[in-house]
Structure 1
Amino acid sequence: MPTTSMKNNIAHRFEQLDKGIADHVFAFAPQEVGHVTSVATGIVKVSGLGGVGFEELLKFSEDLYGIAYNLDEEEIGVILLGEDTLLNAGDEVQRTGRVMDIPVGDHLIGRVIDPMGMPIDGKGAIPISKRLPIERPAPAIMDRMAVNAALQTGIKVVDALIPIGRGQRELIVGDRQTGKTQIAIDTILNQRGKDVLCVYCAIGQRASAVAKVIANLEEKGAMEYTVIMVAEGNSTAGLKYIAPYAATSIAEHFMEEGRNVLIVYDDLTHHARAYRELSLLLRRPPGREAFPGDIFYIHSRLLERATHLSDNLKGGSLTALPIIETEAQNISAYIPTNLISITDGQIYLSPKLFEAGILPAVDVGKSVSRVGSNAQLPAYKSIVKLKLQYAQFEELESFSRFGTRLDENTKKIIDHGERIRSCLKQNELHPLTVSQQIVVLLALTNGLFDDVAIDKVREAEAGILKSMDQFPSELLKRLFADQQLDSADHDLILKTAGDLLASFKEKVESDQTPK
């Protein structure tokens, strides 16, 4: 009968044996060498690496790596992370014993990098103090907190009607050339001075479009708190595939330090197409629209990493703004419906509104935030009627096009709605502060713009914005507080805005007086 000391000794010996085996594997696994059997666009087949693990990083040369993805009995399907022009059948392949990782840290702020973490902005090397795997488990449910703090975009129609919270995942969806990227860029610009770091991940975009984004961010001083990751349209499918995961690891590092982070994926349509290309080349079975069956999973495991961490984990947040492109306004296509079901709401951009010059072209009826007013400053409660008024206008507007005779009340609703639509227009690269938004929208909701000519509404709004110094500074500060506006503040804002609009109205009437 073995004694307790004998049992402990045997357990200790097995523990040492396991450790020795692990050390042995770690020491010799990187020396395992295989050979390329075939090369295709973006992928290669490799043989001779019997001990390789799933998603292990493989080395072909000093500048070329790949990820082991298909682990078949005879050979391995590898996703290349670079050009295959100099790769030939018979070339050697080495195991690295690690998965793909990315450098993280404050040194990346203000820089433009590729999905491998290499700088592409011509500003020299980036000091590396820490690296994180690009694929990481999403935080557990018990490590998360409710989304209850606002992430201000600076865009009136979004902050007032489709609020976004810190830790939320809000999809930006619409046809090409409808201003999707501009919504994200304006949101990044509005984070200046708000202690929010930003990560912009360009996937499959034209080099000229990315250069324009970088120029706008530099001009407005946003690069001081922004990291840009670029996988251009001419990059390999492998780099496009890993780009959003690598960018998310960079953002997660900041979040785990207790900071608030905003990440933009522009766009996941190109990401899905890159993954489809790789899957078809790797002979994986195609499904709906030729996408592989796990396309939903690759996006869900990406977006689940966006969250608001609990106070025990320093309370940081990661807010995700994925962008997706539709074709002919078809939001019921495979990829859009997948992402709509994963995210916490969507901002839908209408090509009809865009063509009509209503910018940003946000379709309020098809847009929704499932977090809603829980992630909105209390001051916005004073304009809660705005969405209902706008919905009534859109419903009645469709009837008025048939030439139906309208009563006076219906005409008032339509006239008021036209002013709401005009006032919700906003120039790009000009985000508005909370106080500016509340003052204008409160005046709008209470009908102060109704006596202003429709073609002068934007001018009248600009007049109010230029005269913000006429509002008491203490009142403007209270708009950021955790309490709703009291009746005195409400009346003071309306009185001051009314005086400004009255003087503008007199000017308009005098301009229209026949001479």
Structure 2
Amino acid sequence: MPTDAPNWIDAARTKVARAKLGPHAEHQGVVEEIGDGVALVSGLRDVRLDEVLHFGGGQVGFARVLDADRIGCVLLDGTSDVEAGDTVRGTGEVVNVPVGEALLGRIVDPLGRPLDGKDPIAAQDRWPIERPAPSIIERDLVTEPVQTGIVVVDTLFALGRGQRELIVGDHSTGKTTLGIDALIAQRDSDMICVYVAVGQKTSSVRRAIDALRAQGNFARCIVMVAGSSDAPGLQWIAPYAGMTMAEYFRDKGQHALIVIDDLSKHAATHREIALLTRQSPGREAYPGDVFYIHARLLERAAKLSPERGGGSLTALPIAETDQGNLSAYIPTNLISITDGQIVLDQALFHQGQKPAVDVGLSVSRVGGKTQAPVLRKAAGTLRLDYAQFLELEVFTRFGGMPDGRVRQQLTRGGRIREALRQPQHLPFRLVDEVALMLAVQTGLLDALPAPLVAAFRSGLPAALDHDAAQAVQAIAGGSTLDDATKTALSGAMARLIASLTPAEPTP
């Protein structure tokens, strides 16, 4: 026998002596019915709402409906191994997810489990997915801008830190692209980016991730995926889990931007779970709390007061319409919850006007209060000029020769429309947007043929860096649009236009 045997025996005796002996009560329930990701369980009287439940086969679910005689449990894993008669036990804990810096640069599922093949998340803490929204006293005014790098958004529908702006439109009109471009534009900012994919196809999610990796700063992004093939329970908790992960940075005094893609599919999942748990259906078979589930989610986006650290969480939820019907149930709910909406039009998309933003139906209820002052001064009356152009364009289709003033408005409006076009995943800097608006408003682009405006737009950043470097640095440092800066920017753009326009042959 080894010489250390007595020490081992003494240690074992000590552990046995410290063990608490006696009866141990454990509440167990039984699966009554199972199907489509929902289990009806009886026998667990002390379970609370959203409590995590463990099944005998190792599966995990959470209590979604608490009736007098049984519990509606939504499973977070597959249901193939769960059968009627299986045992279920409560854990006493609500659904929670890991939070912290370790999530940055990772792709996870709504429970925080890695999907990128890397090591498990070394979480600094775990927070519940359902957290109360900040009270009115804890909030501050939304005054700081969020530069999305999208010209039509930053100039016409400025967003602020702490705002909730809905992106809404028909299928395949560029909603996801708009949200991803806003995330890519934060590659040089201090904002943490969170992208939540709810019920999306794997190919769509892969394209979004590839764009973030190629064009954005993926090391400051969190991607959460609950695909269309995942359990309904995972899809249901995904927006709340993503919001909790983003709130960690907000509560630390930092700034975060979350894109939820999309809440229409989340509402459909909620309807599916509600019907399977035998809740009473209402309009379009949605349960009565479908407004509340999204209201309590989006109210968590806020700008906190200095006493709470001054952090912010900006939300860009996405919703899908059918044939442009903004008066449908879910879109109207979300429009009434959020602080404005960016409406994407299918006709504009097919005409090649991308981003296909309908400037007549889109609005930001925070608006110019958050727009960068230098951009507001450069844009001037852009929205009014563009709206007048759209009306004049409709009237001139009936024929007739417009007078000189109207022809000038049509020319200027056409250049505005060309300037608002933008390739995907190529967000503009603030100085690029300021220069582009200055070129439109001062008439620099009026003499440039419309097909060459795209070449002007793509060559603008390099031209400004080369010919107006001091003005670029001044605007990046927060300078105002003074006469010297205007002259430098205009000179650089004039040289760019000259290089694009072929010289007329000498007689």
Structure 2 CA distance for partners of 1:464 and 1:213, relative to 1, 3 Å: closer
1:208 deviates by 1.2
- What is the aligned counterpart of 2:143 among 145, 148, 153? 148
Whether 1:337 and 2:332 are equivalent positions in the alignment is yes
Which stretch has the larger CA shift, 140-149 or 70-79?
70-79
- What is the aligned counterpart of 2:119 among 121, 124, 128? 124
Which residue of 2 is the match for residue 17 of structure 1? Answer: none
1:472 deviates by 3.8
8 Å contact kept, 1:202–1:229: yes
Partner SS, residue 188 of structure 2: coil
8 Å contact kept, 1:378–1:482: no
Which residue of 1 is the match for residue 409 of structure 2? Answer: 413
Cα distance per residue 1:465-494 (max 9 Å; x no partner): 331124443322332455642334334433
Alpha-carbon distance in structure 1 between the residues aligned to 2:58 and 2:106: 21
Which residue of 1 is the match for residue 243 of structure 2? Answer: 248
1:262 deviates by 0.5
1:61 deviates by 4.2
Alpha-carbon distance in structure 2 between the residues aligned to 1:43 and 1:430: 43
- What is the aligned counterpart of 1:323 among 310, 318, 322? 318
Whether 1:453 and 2:446 are equivalent positions in the alignment is no
Partner SS, residue 127 of structure 2: strand
Which residue of 1 is the match for residue 485 of structure 2? Answer: 489
Which residue of 2 is the match for residue 50 of structure 1? Answer: 45
Q: CA RMSD in A?
A: 1.8
Which residue of 2 is the match for residue 69 of structure 1? Answer: 64
Structure 2 CA distance for partners of 1:116 and 1:310, relative to 1, 3 Å: same
Alpha-carbon distance in structure 2 between the residues aligned to 1:440 and 1:44: 57
8 Å contact kept, 1:464–1:501: no
Which stretch has the larger CA shift, 152-161 or 481-490?
481-490
Which residue of 2 is the match for residue 428 of structure 1? Answer: 424
Alpha-carbon distance in structure 1 between the residues aligned to 2:118 and 2:477: 41
Cα distance per residue 1:199-228 (max 9 Å; x no partner): 100000001111111122122252111011
Alpha-carbon distance in structure 2 between the residues aligned to 1:496 and 1:118: 51
- What is the aligned counterpart of 1:163 among 140, 143, 158? 158
Whether 1:260 and 2:225 are equivalent positions in the alignment is no
8 Å contact kept, 2:155–2:376: no
- The one-letter amino acid of 2:368's match is S
Which stretch has the larger CA shift, 177-186 or 455-464?
455-464
- The one-letter amino acid of 1:381's match is R
- What is the aligned counterpart of 1:474 among 443, 446, 470? 470
- The one-letter amino acid of 1:412's match is Q
Whether 1:233 and 2:228 are equivalent positions in the alignment is yes
Cα distance per residue 1:396-435 (max 9 Å; x no partner): 1111111133112111111111111111111111111001
- The one-letter amino acid of 1:182's match is T
Which residue of 2 is the match for residue 8 of structure 1? Answer: none
Cα distance per residue 1:426-451 (max 9 Å; x no partner): 11111110011111111111111001
Alpha-carbon distance in structure 1 between the residues aligned to 2:35 and 2:465: 64
Which stretch has the larger CA shift, 33-42 or 476-485?
476-485
Which residue of 1 is the match for residue 107 of structure 2? Answer: 112
Whether 1:200 and 2:195 are equivalent positions in the alignment is yes
Which residue of 2 is the match for residue 15 of structure 1? Answer: none
- What is the aligned counterpart of 2:435 among 430, 439, 443? 439
1:503 deviates by 4.6
Which residue of 2 is the match for residue 91 of structure 1? Answer: 86
Which residue of 2 is the match for residue 101 of structure 1? Answer: 96
1:69 deviates by 2.0
1:514 deviates by 12
Alpha-carbon distance in structure 2 between the residues aligned to 1:488 and 1:221: 33
Alpha-carbon distance in structure 2 between the residues aligned to 1:485 and 1:173: 34
1:390 deviates by 0.6
- The one-letter amino acid of 2:186's match is Q
- The one-letter amino acid of 2:113's match is M
Partner SS, residue 335 of structure 1: helix
Which residue of 2 is the match for residue 16 of structure 1? Answer: none
Partner SS, residue 159 of structure 2: coil
- The one-letter amino acid of 2:356's match is A
Structure 2 CA distance for partners of 1:61 and 1:161, relative to 1, 3 Å: farther
1:49 deviates by 0.8
Structure 2 CA distance for partners of 1:59 and 1:324, relative to 1, 3 Å: same
Alpha-carbon distance in structure 1 between the residues aligned to 2:477 and 2:395: 42
Alpha-carbon distance in structure 2 between the residues aligned to 1:116 and 1:61: 20
- The one-letter amino acid of 1:428's match is Q
Alpha-carbon distance in structure 2 between the residues aligned to 1:346 and 1:53: 36
Which residue of 2 is the match for residue 355 of structure 1? Answer: 350
Alpha-carbon distance in structure 1 between the residues aligned to 2:353 and 2:30: 58
Whether 1:394 and 2:390 are equivalent positions in the alignment is yes
Which residue of 1 is the match for residue 266 of structure 2? Answer: 271
Alpha-carbon distance in structure 2 between the residues aligned to 1:327 and 1:283: 27
The percentage of aligned residue pairs carrying the same residue is 45
Partner SS, residue 82 of structure 2: coil
Structure 2 CA distance for partners of 1:54 and 1:446, relative to 1, 3 Å: same
- The one-letter amino acid of 2:43's match is G
1:370 deviates by 0.7
- The one-letter amino acid of 2:210's match is A
- The one-letter amino acid of 2:217's match is A
Alpha-carbon distance in structure 2 between the residues aligned to 1:248 and 1:271: 14
Partner SS, residue 142 of structure 1: coil
- The one-letter amino acid of 1:355's match is H
Length, aligned pairs only? 484
8 Å contact kept, 2:52–2:90: yes
1:496 deviates by 3.7
Structure 2 CA distance for partners of 1:466 and 1:473, relative to 1, 3 Å: closer
